[in-house]
Amino acid sequence: MKPAKPLWIAYGVVLLALATASAFHPSGLRKARALSADVRRVSEENEKLRERNQRLRREARALAGDPAALERAAREELGYVRPGERIYELPPAEGPR
């Protein structure tokens, strides 16, 4: 019955050596942490893109059904003006000095 204790110690040493090797191996623990960080970053980016897509869908629906929204978009995004209108362009405001 005495040989069991050295066997457990040897098992523990081997386990510790494998865990250490895994932690320092290029495709071990460091890579797993880096991949987890990438997953979080991509998930956040996907959520932002989902929100942007919803905004764009709402805007597309408004442009398709609302003439005032269509005119606003044409004026703001494309610079369209009605005949006879005058456009005044102001220089950008300078920040505090």
Is there a domain that residue 91 lies in?
Answer: no
**Are 59 and 53 contacting, i.e. CB atoms less than 8 angstroms apart?**
no
62 within a domain of the structure (yes/no): yes
pLDDT at 37 (0 to 100): 95
pTM, to two decimals: 0.51
* Domain span at 41: 25-78
DSSP structure class, residue 78:
H
Give me the number of domains the chain comprises. Answer: 1
pLDDT, residue 18, reads: 84
User: Could you identify the residue written with the tokens 């003439």?
Assistant: 67
| pLDDT at residue 82 is higher than 70 | yes
Q: How confident is the model at residue 48, as a pLDDT?
A: 98
Kindly report, residue by residue over 5-62, the tens digit of the pLDDT. Answer: 778 888 888 898 888 887 777 777 778 888 999 999 999 999 999 999 999 999 888 8
Query: How far is CA 70 from each of CA 23, 77, 85, rounded to the nearest angstrom?
Result: 58, 10, 18
DSSP 84: T
Q: Which residue has the tokens 């040989």?
A: 3
Quick check: 2 pLDDT over 80?
no
